[in-house]
Amino acid sequence: MSVIRTIACGIAVVALLCLSGCGPGECADQGVIEPGSGVTAEGASLCLGDTLEDATKRLGEPSSSLDLGTAGVRLGWDVGVVGHLASSAEDATVVSIELVAGVDAATAGGVGVGSSEADLRAELGDPIMEPFTGAWLYPDRGIAVQWQDGAVSSVHLFAP
């Protein structure tokens, strides 16, 4: 997947967001992706509503950063987690989370990176298709996915 396509998906997801979700330290149980809330996996714990300070305490310093202008800041960690903050301000909070290969976590129904279309439809039903990126969106549930080679390549979490 190209960098531009990934960024475009991130921006599309950010456009759907509002600032709610779990508070700092209130993420899902270990190894669980909780749509609309956050993720907790070994070495990869991040919640919607976390500040950069909260995220850095859990994940360490980000390994990458991309300023998205008025759309905020995209921060990446080597454990396969990307956080989208509302702005570059010190008190900005995480408004969406992207999970890629390497994160050992799944939803209660077993959906995560590597899941099939059938797995996703069985748990979440029919999606809204995002025409530009091909992402599957479930805005009422706070989750979207990207595809590559017939499997989920990334999971995006946001406030429903």
Q: What pLDDT was estimated at residue 91?
A: 74
Domain residue ranges of the chain, discontinuous segments joined by +? 3-158
H-helix or E-strand containing 94? strand 94-99
Report pTM. Answer: 0.78
Q: What percent of the chain has pLDDT over 90?
A: 43
- Biggest distance spanned by C-alpha atoms of the chain: 41
Mean pLDDT on 119-131: 91
* Interval 12-23: pLDDT, tens: 333 333 333 344
* Interval 32-85: pLDDT, tens: 899 999 998 776 789 999 998 888 888 889 999 999 988 889 999 888 889 999
